[in-house]
Structure 1
Amino acid sequence: MIQRESSVSAHRRPDGPVRTCVGCRKRELAVELLRVVAVDGGNGTSAVIVDTARKLPGRGAWLHPDPQCLDAAIRRRAFVRALRITGSPDATAVIEHFSPAESPSHPRERTGSEEHEHTVKSR
């Protein structure tokens, strides 16, 4: 009888917990994903916020730090299902986490490299 060696990499355990992204549905190590939770917004509404410390109470959902995954999660109403909430939650805080806040008085215009922008601003 011939015995085959089992592939070590096929049965290797990942280095930590594995979670599923609610946007693209791919499994990834939890350290690679953002945790989001629902908080009560008052008047029966909910808001979804990013749990950067990963310690907020309540049910969490996981999301790749990729705008495409965020768009897919919002489009598919994945936050509602994953967080088990009713209604349409306010995801503004998560959207703002993905796009850096810009000053409302004069939004930053990208003119090239950061070095070039610094040179232009210092003149």
Structure 2
Amino acid sequence: MVQVVPPSGGQSGRTPVRTCLGCRRRAEQTALLRVVASDHTDPVPGWSVVPDPRRRRPGRGAYVHPAPECVTAATTRGAFGRALRRAGRPDTTALEALLGQDD
């Protein structure tokens, strides 16, 4: 008889799965980049999408593949606003700078 021993620490050994906002494919959480919303007032009032690679920033988070095409698709479809529950178009400058996009 084979006995299965659960991993130590009470964890099941499974990695959480999240959906990318850009391509809508499911992937392990570790393969995706977490982003959060951040309010700003300078130069104009609004909000921006800020990358959270360490997954430590407070607030509601959303996930996207760290690829320019996924970020562009999410921005075009307005997915960041829906996922982060914010109105209006976000400023994605910080996210694009991290990924090396030139817009």
Alignment of 1:55-66 (within 5 A): 55-66=56-67
With over 3 angstroms needed to count, the CA separation of the structure-2 counterparts of 1:17 and 1:75, relative to structure 1, is same
Percentage of matched positions with identical amino acids: 47
Length, aligned pairs only? 89
Structure 2 residue runs without a partner (length 5+): 1-11
- Find the counterpart in structure 1 of residue 17 from structure 2: 18
**Distance across 1 between alignment mates of 2:35 and 2:53:** 8
Superposition deviation, residue 66 in structure 1: 1.2
| Partners of 2:39 and 2:47 within 8 A in 1 | yes
- Find the counterpart in structure 2 of residue 38 from structure 1: 37
**Distance across 1 between alignment mates of 2:101 and 2:69:** 16
Superposition deviation, residue 15 in structure 1: 2.8
Name the amino acid aligned to 1:23: G
Work out which structure has the larger RCO, using CA pairs closer than 8 Å and 6 or more positions apart in sequence: 2
TM-score normalised over the length of structure 2: 0.79
Runs of 4+ residues over 6 Å off in structure 1 = none
**Distance across 2 between alignment mates of 1:29 and 1:14:** 13
**Distance across 2 between alignment mates of 1:89 and 1:66:** 18
Superposition deviation, residue 44 in structure 1: 4.2
Structure 1 residue runs without a partner (length 5+): 1-12, 102-123
Alignment of 1:1-123 (within 5 A): 15-42=14-41, 44-99=45-100
Superposition deviation, residue 65 in structure 1: 1.1
Name the amino acid aligned to 2:15: G
RMSD: 1.9
